[in-house]
Every structure is written in structure tokens, then in C-alpha cells.
Structure 1
Amino acid sequence: MTVWDRPEPPTRPAPLDRERIVAAAIALADEGGLEAVSLRKVAARLDVGPMRLYGYISTKEELFDLMVDEVHAEILPEELPGDWREVLRVRAHRTRQAALRHEWLADLLGGRPTLGPNALAVTEATLAPFDGLADLDTVMHAVETLSAYLTGAIRREIAHLRAERATGLSERDWQRASGPHVMRMLATGRFPMLAKVVHDGTDVDAETSFATGLDWVLDAVAAKLARPPA
């Protein structure tokens, strides 16, 4: 039985419910990452004994599932366009925005599917515009490809943000600091293609890079959908 199927305990002194528990856990994670979340710390935030929480949540993994599902409510917009490409674009950008608000989400992306009501609603909204456009296997591969791109791109961006905070160096400052070493290595002539990228490539911000990669993924999906079945 999942946490969503298990009823909450009867009301007791000091009102408590899963909604308050999850809100407290998200606040802790936003402040200090997933390592800052434990049932004991959540109980302390709510000013209740830790044992009170076990009537609502059995394990920390269940708590993480509830937290991820709560954030999916931020990912699902009130209205979605009917075109599959715009639906995927909206989902991608809203997922990235949610991850930037809740950086810990990046650590939980890519695992088993979340089965909460908000996550299921996001999945349904993502699949719905494909109805009748292609066979189910093609549709699922399209959605899985998008998910794989989101997981990789978001984790990479969050990792860069964490590195900036850990070192105190912005991306530009890090490039300046590592520049002399890179130039010496390129001067050896062993990395000609990398030298072209460093000297002639265009430097873009994270949002532009994300949007460009997303367009490439959507173009690939469109080409696959346009191909007649074998």
C-alpha cells in the first residue's frame, strides 16, 4: 500500500496532517538540501514528537515521494496547449523552474516514477496530446527521451550552481582562473577540435542552452512522429 492509499490517523491534540509535514520537509530541503531532512528534524520544525510523524509517514523515502509530488503541483499549469510540442516545452521549462526553486529536486529526478496525484496529472497532461498521433511505444519513447534530457540538463545546471556556492567563484571567475592552464594545454596541439571550441565557440547562458537542447529533442521527436510506421 502506497502512502497515498494509507489513511491518516484520527485528529489528535496539536493538529497535524501530511500536508503540514510535507510543507515543513520542503522548507528544510530548500534551506539545506535533502541531507537536512529527517523525520526528527521535521518533527522539531512542527514542534511535535518524532513518533507523531510515524502515523502519517513510515519512512524518509515516503516523505521524499510526497515532497516530489507536491512540487509536481508547481509543474502542472492550469491550462495546457493542445499541440504536443508546446505541451512538452511547457512541461520542460516548468520542471526546470521548479528545480531552480527547489534544488533538491534534481537529486530525486530519474528514479522510479512518482505515483502521487500531482505527478500522475503531469504525466497524463504530457501524454494526452499524443493520442491518435502514433502508437503507444513511440509515444512512450518520446516522453522518456524528454525526461532523460530534463534529468541530465537540470542536474548539470544545479551542479554548476552548487559548485559556484562551494568555491565562491562564478562561472566567469572559474574560467578566468583556469584559463592559463587551458591555454597551455591547447598550445600543445593535442586538442585541435577543443581549441576551435574555446577560441571560436559561442558562450551562452544556462537558460539559452537549456532551450536550445530542448528544441533539438523536440525536433527529433517530430521527425520520428512524421515517419510512417515500418
Structure 2
Amino acid sequence: MTGGVLGGAWDWLADGANWSGESGVWHRLAEHAYVSGLALLLACAVALPAGLWLGHLGRGGALAVNVSNVGRAVPVFAVLALFMVSPLRNAGYAPTVIALVLFAVPPLLTNAYVGLREVDRSVVEAARGMGMSGGQLFRRVELPLAWPMVMTGLRSAAIQVVATATIAAMVGQGGLGRIITAGFTTYNTPQVVAGALLVALLALLVEGALVAADRLLSPLRHSPSRTEHS
């Protein structure tokens, strides 16, 4: 039975007719990437500066993290449903994007804050003793050492957003979720599986891209101490 469903999903994906047109995979993929990317960018713009700044100051961060984590207890679809009965219901993708932003902020904010606070205090004090200003300390010591934790939060948020963006289909908007809901509507199980596989593949591609970006852009990769020991 499983083999039959997977085989049917492969046949659905191999059919070129399912990839073209407004209901085709390419169009739905573009919609999904747009919603996910916009939500992730907005979440990063809000959460990363706040988390890094609070982590640098060492004050008020715990409260901010706890407040943001309350959002994890609220189902994203419930938030989206509330937006859909508000004046935003006719604002295109805005309700979905806002719901996804609220969903992505907690891991970004938490990891940024914790990453800064877990930097070895002896290293920080040594840098201060060398006469570094607050800005220099942040850029040259704290941020490079917190980078792995920050990127872990970014990867987690990105995967969650890509997977959860399928909810846009629940309110009649685009994305790969429309392939899944269309399969449910027509009792086409292979199409449902094919849609789920496409979402999973996109999430894996995003994860791989962020891992590659981490390796290329990591401050630790270009730090003097790392260069001296290489």
C-alpha cells in the first residue's frame, strides 16, 4: 500500500502538466518561497537585533525571551484564524506573514540572547581590560563567539516557517499547501504525499543553504586566532 502511494506520488511529480500553470508546482513553489522568505526576514529584523542587544546588555533579556516563548504555546493556525476575522482579512498574504513572524521570533530571539550570555565572561573581561569599547567588544568578541548559537536559531526558525507556511492554503491563499489541500479535496492521496514531499524537500534545501552560509560567513572562520592555528 505504501509503495503504491509513493509510486503514485512519484508519478504525479513526474507529470509535467502538474508543474505548469497557476496551480502548478513552480507557481506554488514561488508563492511558498515568497511568504516564507518575507516572514523570516521580518522575524530576523525584529528578533535578532533585540536578542543580541539584550544579550550584550545582560538586562531584561530573560523577560523578553519568556514573553516571546508564550507564542510557542499558541497554534499558528489559531493566530491566522483571528487575523482572518479582523480588518486584515482582505490584505492578501499579510495575515499569514504576520502569523509566521510571530511563530519565528521565539527561536531567533532566544538563541541570540542565550548565545551572547553564554560567551565566556573571562574572555569578555579580558577584552575590556585591553581597552575595547562596548561596540568593539560586541563586534570582535561577543558576536563571533555567539555566532553558532545564533545560526542554530536561524536554521530552526527557517525550517519551521517553511513547514508551517502550508497553512496559507487553509485560508485560500497560495503556496505548496494548495497542492496538499487540493489532493484532500479530490481524495487524491498521491497528490497529498507529493505536496508533503515538496515541502520537506524545500525545508531540506533551505537548511543546506543556511549551513553553507554559516560556513562561509562565520566570523570564527576569519578570526586571527583561527588563522594562526590553521
TM-score range, shorter chain: under 0.3
If the length of structure 1 is used for normalisation, what is the TM-score? 0.28
If the length of structure 2 is used for normalisation, what is the TM-score? 0.28
Higher normalized contact order (CA 8 Å, seq sep 6+, divided by chain length): 2
